[in-house]
Structure 1
Amino acid sequence: MASATSPGTRPAGGAELGRPFRWLWGSAAASNAGDGITRTLLPLLVVAHHPDPAAVAGLTAVNMLPWLLFALPAGVLVDRADRRLVLLASNAVRAAALAGAALLLAQDRPLALLYALAFVLGIAETLADTAAPALLPRLVDERRLERANGRLSAAQIVLGETAGPPLAGLLAGLAAAVALAAGGGLYALAALLLLGLAPLPRTAGAPRPKAGGGLFRDVREGVGFVLRHRTLRLTLTASALYGLVYSATFSMLVLLSDRTLGLSGTGYGLLLAAGSVGAVAGSWLAPRLADRLPPVRLARWSLVASGAAYAALGAAPVPVLAALALASNGVFMMGWNIPVMSLRQRLTPEDLQGRVMSVSRLCAWGSMPVGALLGGLLAELLSVPAVFVVCGTVLAVGALLLLAPLRDDPAGPRAEPPPSRPTDLPDKG
C-alpha cells in the first residue's frame, strides 16, 4: 500500500524517524511505565484487603473484559476521530481515574471500587492500544515501520514489563496512594507529550470518516476487509494461535520454575528477566533482519522458532538452559510481532487502520483466557513440562501450516475496501 502521509510531513528515509515519532515514543514510554505500575499495583491492593483467589481472578477478568466488549467499536471510533486526540484522551482518562482512586482508596479499599477502576483503565487501554499503531503509519516512512515498531516494543518491555513492576512494589511499600498517584502522573505526562504532536492533515484522496453510518456497518466493513485479505486473515489466525500458546505456557511458568526447576521466588524473577532481555534484543534485531529478509519469511520462521523454544523450555533439565530458552523465545517473539504489525499497517488503507488493529487485538488477546484454561487442563492430564512441549510443537506445526500459503511478497492481489459513497469525497487541495 502506498504511504499515507505526504512527503513533506515525514523523513524520506535514513535512520532518523523524525520529530513526530519522537513525541509519540515519549508518550508511549510514559504510558508503558504507567501500565507497569498499575498492572502490578491493583492485584497487590486486592490481595492486601481481599485475600481470595477468586477476587484476584475477578480483577484480571474485569480488566480484560473491555477487550471483548469494546475492541471492535474502539476500532470504529479510532477510524472516525482524530487518532492523536483519541490517544491523548485515553491517557487523560487514566490519569484522572488514578488520581481519583488515590483519594478514594487512601483509607478503605472496597472490592467494587477496585473493580470499577480496573474496568475504566481497561476501556482506556483498549482505545490507546488501538489508536497508537493506527496512528504510526501517518508519522514514519513506510520503509521505517519495522524500526519504529521495534522502538515502541522495546519501550513497552523495558518500562512496562521490567522496570514498572518493581517500581510499583517499591511505591506500594511507601503508600498505596503514592503508587496510584505516580501511575496517574505518568499517564498525565503521556497525554501532555502528545500535545507536541501537531494535528495531522487528512491524506489527499483518503475517504472521509463515515460518522453518520451505523456502528455495525463500520465493524462489518473492517472485519470483512480482514476476511477477504488472505495475508491479514492467515496472520491473524496465527496470532490467535500464538495467544493460546502464550497464555497456556505463561500460566504454568511459575509451576515449572518451582516444581520442575526448583527455583525460589528470586530465581523465578530472574527467569522472567531472561525473557525480557531476549525480547529487548529481538526488538533491536528484528527491524535489521526485516531490511534483508521478506517480512512474511521472517515472521513465519520466527513463529516456528518460538514454538521450538517453548518445547525446549519444557524439556530443559537445568535452570540455565531454561533461561536460555526463554531468552531465545523473547528474540523470536519480536521476530514475529514486529514484521507482522508492520505488514498489517502497510496492507491496510488509511481509513481502516483502526478497525484492522482492533480485529488484530481481539484475535490475539481474546484467545488468551481460553489458553490459560487449556494450560491448566493439560497440566492436570499430563504434566507441567508437557504443557510447554505440546504447546510449542502445536505452535511450530501450526505456523508452518497456516503461513505456508503466503508468498514472501504479500503486495500481490489483495482485497480492496468497498467503494466510497459519492458523499465520501477527499479534502480539496
Structure 2
Amino acid sequence: MKVSLGKSYWLLWGSAAVANLGDGMRLVALPLVAYSVSRNPLDIALIMALSSLSGLIIGPLVGVLVDRFDRRMVIAWGNAVRVAPLVAVGFLVMAGKAELWHIYLLVVLLSLAEIFVDTASQPMLADILPEGLLEKGNARIFAARIFMQDIAGSPAAALLLGISASIPFFVNGATFVGATVLILLVPWASSRRGTRLEARKPISRSSVRAELIEGLAVIRRTPMLRNAAVASTVVNFVLLAGSSMLVVYAKGDLGLSDGQYGLLFSAAAAGSILGGLATPKLVAIAGTRATLISTLFVTGAARLAFGLAHGFWSAGAAFFSIGVAAFAYNVSVSAYQQRVTPTEMLGRVYSVTQAMNYGAALLAALVGGFIAESMGVRPIMICGGLLVMGCSLLFLRTTRRVVEVKESASL
C-alpha cells in the first residue's frame, strides 16, 4: 500500500521551494553587484568566506537552540528576519549607493538566518515522516532546491537583471514572506516517534556544553554516521575547491565557450535531480551502507574524469555524473542521520556535521586560488577525485570491520 507524504510535508516542501527560488535569483545578482563595486578577486572571494564562517562559528550552538524550541517557529523566524535586509540592499542598489560592506553585512545576516532554517528543517522532516519515507522526502526537497535555484531561479534572475539589478533582491524578500506563511500553515502533527510537536519538552538546559557533547557522542558512537561526516567534509572541500576555480578550468584547460560553461551547471543540475529521485529505490535495493559507499566512490571517479576531460562532451558527462552521485550520497546521508538519531538531538547532530562542512567550504574558499596558482587547476580536479575515492574505500573498510565485530560478538 502506497503511503502519502502528507499535507505537513508538502507545506514544508513548498516553503523550502519558494525560499530557494528567491535564493537562486539572489545568488546570481549578488556577485554581479559586488563585481560592479570592486573587481578585486579577493573582495569577491570574501563573500563565500563570510557565508561559510558564520556556520562554522555558531552552527553547533544553533543546533542546541533548535533542539530546545519549536522547530516550525524557528524556520518561520529564520525566513522572516531575512526580508528586511534584502529589501534594504535592494533600495541601495536601486539608488546606486551599494557598497562592499553592505554586501558583506547582508551575506552574514542571511547566512546566520539560513543556518537556523536548515538546522530546524532536518529534524522537522523526521518529525513529519515515517522512517520508510525519509529517503523519498529528502530527495524531493533536495531536488526542489536544485530546480528552483539553478534551473528556475538563475534564468529568472538574468531576465530581471536586464530591467534592474535591484529586482532580484526585492523578489527574494517576497519569497521569504511566502516561505514564512507556508511553514506557519503546517498543522501540529505527530512525530514518527509518537511525541506531538506541541508536547515536545525542552531538554535539560543546565549546560550548553553538555548538550553539544551529547550531540558529538551520537556521531562518535555511530560508525556510519561518523564516517559519513568525515567523508562529507572531504567531498565538500574537494568540490568547492574545484568550483572556486571552475571558470578558469573551463575556459583555460577545457577551452569551453561561455554557453558551454553555463551548460555544465545545467548538466549537474539535471544529474542531481535524477540522482535524488533514484535514491529511495537504490537504498531499498542495496541498503544504506552500500548506497553511501558506492555513490561516494562514483563521486570521486566522476571528479577524476572531469580532471582528465578534454572538451565539452567529456566534461559535461563527468559533471552530470558528479551531480547524480553526490546528490544521491547527500540524500542517503540525511535520511540515515534522521533515522538513527533521537529526534530530540537531531538539531545538534546536524549542526555539528554542517559545521564541519562549513569549515571545509571556508578552507576551500581561502586556499583554492593559492593551490591553483602553484599546481594549476587540472591537478586540483584529479587529486580531489582520487581523495574522494580513497575516502570511499576507507569507509568500506571501517564500516565492514564494525559489522564483522558485531557479527562475531553475536556468535
Distance apart, 1:221 and its partner CA: 1.9
- 1:49 aligned to 2:43? no
| Structure 1 counterpart of 2:242, from 249, 265, 268 | 249
* Larger mean Cα displacement after TM superposition, 246-255 or 68-77: 246-255
| Structure 2 counterpart of 1:269, from 242, 258, 262 | 262
Structure 1 CA distance for aligned equivalents of residues 39 and 277 of structure 2: 41
| Residue 408 to residue 189, structure 1, CA distance change in 2 (3 Å) | farther
Given that 2:161 and 2:167 are in contact with CA atoms closer than 8 Å, whether structure 1 keeps it comes out as yes
* Larger mean Cα displacement after TM superposition, 252-261 or 273-282: 252-261
Distance apart, 1:53 and its partner CA: 2.2
Question: Could you tell me which amino acid in structure 2 is paired with residue 113 of structure 1?
Answer: H
Instruction: Report matched runs for 1:300-315 at 5 Å.
Output: 300-315=293-308
| Structure 2 counterpart of 1:173, from 144, 162, 168 | 162
- 1:290 aligned to 2:269? no
Structure 1 CA distance for aligned equivalents of residues 38 and 365 of structure 2: 23
| Structure 1 counterpart of 2:16, from 28, 31, 49 | 28
Q: Deviations over 1:305-352 (max 9, x none)?
A: 111111111112221011011111111112211111100000100110
| Structure 2 counterpart of 1:214, from 207, 217, 220 | 207
Structure 2 CA distance for aligned equivalents of residues 178 and 187 of structure 1: 14
Question: Could you tell me which amino acid in structure 1 is paired with residue 298 of structure 2?
Answer: A
Q: Percent of pairs identical after alignment?
A: 33
Q: Whose helix proportion is higher, 1 or 2?
A: 2
- 1:133 aligned to 2:126? no
| Structure 2 counterpart of 1:59, from 47, 52, 70 | 47
Instruction: Report matched runs for 1:96-135 at 5 Å.
Output: 96-107=84-95, 108-135=97-124
| Residue 64 to residue 247, structure 1, CA distance change in 2 (3 Å) | same
Distance apart, 1:135 and its partner CA: 0.7
Q: Deviations over 1:210-232 (max 9, x none)?
A: 36323222222212322232222
Distance apart, 1:408 and its partner CA: 11
Aligned partner of 2:72 in structure 1 is 84
Distance apart, 1:64 and its partner CA: 2.3
Question: Could you tell me which amino acid in structure 2 is paired with residue 317 of structure 1?
Answer: H
Aligned partner of 2:25 in structure 1 is 37
- 1:74 aligned to 2:62? yes
| Residue 315 to residue 105, structure 1, CA distance change in 2 (3 Å) | closer
Number of equivalenced pairs: 400
Instruction: Report matched runs for 1:136-147 at 5 Å.
Output: 136-147=125-136
| Structure 2 counterpart of 1:336, from 322, 329, 352 | 329
Given that 2:18 and 2:178 are in contact with CA atoms closer than 8 Å, whether structure 1 keeps it comes out as yes
Structure 1 CA distance for aligned equivalents of residues 328 and 104 of structure 2: 35
| Structure 1 counterpart of 2:2, from 4, 7, 14 | 14
Structure 2 CA distance for aligned equivalents of residues 47 and 381 of structure 1: 25
| Structure 1 counterpart of 2:82, from 94, 111, 115 | 94
Structure 2, unaligned runs of 5 or more: 407-411
| Residue 320 to residue 126, structure 1, CA distance change in 2 (3 Å) | same
Structure 2 CA distance for aligned equivalents of residues 403 and 88 of structure 1: 40
Q: Deviations over 1:63-119 (max 9, x none)?
A: 222111210111011100000110011111112321233334431112222221111
Structure 2 CA distance for aligned equivalents of residues 207 and 114 of structure 1: 38
Aligned partner of 1:387 in structure 2 is 380
Structure 1, unaligned runs of 5 or more: 1-12, 414-429
Q: Please tell me the root mean square deviation across aligned C-alpha atoms, in Å.
A: 2.2
Q: Deviations over 1:112-137 (max 9, x none)?
A: 22221111101011111111111101
Structure 2 CA distance for aligned equivalents of residues 409 and 56 of structure 1: 45
Structure 2 CA distance for aligned equivalents of residues 321 and 100 of structure 1: 44
